[in-house]
Amino acid sequence: MAIRNIRLEGDEILKKKSREVEEIDDKLQILIDDMIETMHQYNGVGLAAVQVGILKRVIVIDIYDDNGPIVFINPIIIETKGEQEVDEGCLSFPNQFAKVIRPAEVIAEYTDRNGKRMRVKAKELLAQAICHEVDHLNGEVFMDKIIPGTLEYIEPEKED
């Protein structure tokens, strides 16, 4: 496993649409493991493959609820319900946070890393994370959706 470089604000790849995964092979499994490790290294809740420079429809999410990370291959949001105003940030936009309107609930279908087609009904943080990461796969970033006037830059803590 390895920590991958995260593509940052201004990188053209973040605006590109990711391609469907055709085959779940060893190379994809390595990518998934690296993505999980990279997400944890930077204390992220989610990470899309495009954020590490790979235009494949793969996302990993960990809401730190003792269930461990979830791997979504070719995810599709099939239903949304309600809305929630949430504070959001992104590993590709370090130290920047803003308010965004997201669905309160989503139902998503995806393939897991073992090739099994799955369905999840998600609320709150998990619903928010799924929407945020699926946006990445479609070439959209949270900065495209922020509520005007809510963007904040948090100065990183200096290391001694």
pLDDT 10s digits, 27-64? 999 999 999 999 999 999 999 999 999 999 999 999 99
Is residue 14 within 8 Å of 52, Cβ to Cβ?
no
Which is catalytic among the residues 22, 88, 133, 152? 133
Q: 78-106, pLDDT tens digit by residue?
A: 999 999 999 999 999 999 999 999 999 99
Rounded Cα distance, 75 and 136, in Å = 12
* 133 in active site: yes
What residue ranges define each of the domains in the chain, with the CATH number in brackets? 12-153 (3.90.45.10)
pTM score, two decimals? Answer: 0.95
- Closest C-alpha among 88, 28, 83 to residue 60: 28
